[in-house]
């Protein structure tokens, strides 16, 4: 598929997309991953962001709400040798508490606000990168840093992501 080399989002089925390679690289760079990091990703999709992170960090946990995408990503990541990536089918709003706290959290779907459970599961001096805004408009990619009880936010750049979906 020739489109795989385009720097743009591509559909992966079920109303979802794989992020453009530039954005995957940018989000990875912003969290400043280190080999000893434990990272949580919300929105596994195809597994691409998780695979990129698995090349850098010690532990990667990723949550996907779409059953078919979670199953396909699990098989794909295992087949490609990314056995250390743990995939869970669940509502990413609640994070993955039993494996936290995390050094960084990457959210790959646009939310209207940062889910409080994600902030709670973030380590001291940890970072969350998340697109915030309406799913029908341009969103803002934001960096959230946790320092004690202080939460610092920084607007990074305008983006367009699929909406953050919830279990009904």
Q: Name the residues annotated as catalytic.
A: 19
Compute the half-sphere exposure of residue 107: CA atoms within 13 Å on the CB side of its CA.
37
Q: What is the residue-wise DSSP string for 17-77?
A: EEPPHHHHHHHHHHT---TT-EEEEE--TTSHHHHHHHTT-SEEEEEESSHHHHHHHHHHH
Tokens of 103: 């050094």
The structure tokens listed for 21 are 């390679």
């Amino acid at each position: 598929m020739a489109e795989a080399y385009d720097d743009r989002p591509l559909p992966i089925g079920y109303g979802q997309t794989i992020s453009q390679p530039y954005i995957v690289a940018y989000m990875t760079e912003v969290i400043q991953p280190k080999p000893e990091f434990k990272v949580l990703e919300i929105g596994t999709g195809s597994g691409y962001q998780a695979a990129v992170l698995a090349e850098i960090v010690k532990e990667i946990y990723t949550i996907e709400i779409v059953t078919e995408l979670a199953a396909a990503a699990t098989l794909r990541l295992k087949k490609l040798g990314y056995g250390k990536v743990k995939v869970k089918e669940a509502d990413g709003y609640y994070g993955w508490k039993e494996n936290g706290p995390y050094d960084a959290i990457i959210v790959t779907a646009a939310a209207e606000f940062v889910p409080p459970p994600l902030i709670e599961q973030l380590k001291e001096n940890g970072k969350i990168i998340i697109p915030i805004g309406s799913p029908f408009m341009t969103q803002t990619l934001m960096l959230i840093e946790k320092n004690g009880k202080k939460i610092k936010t920084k607007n990074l750049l305008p983006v367009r992501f699929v909406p953050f979906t919830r279990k009904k």
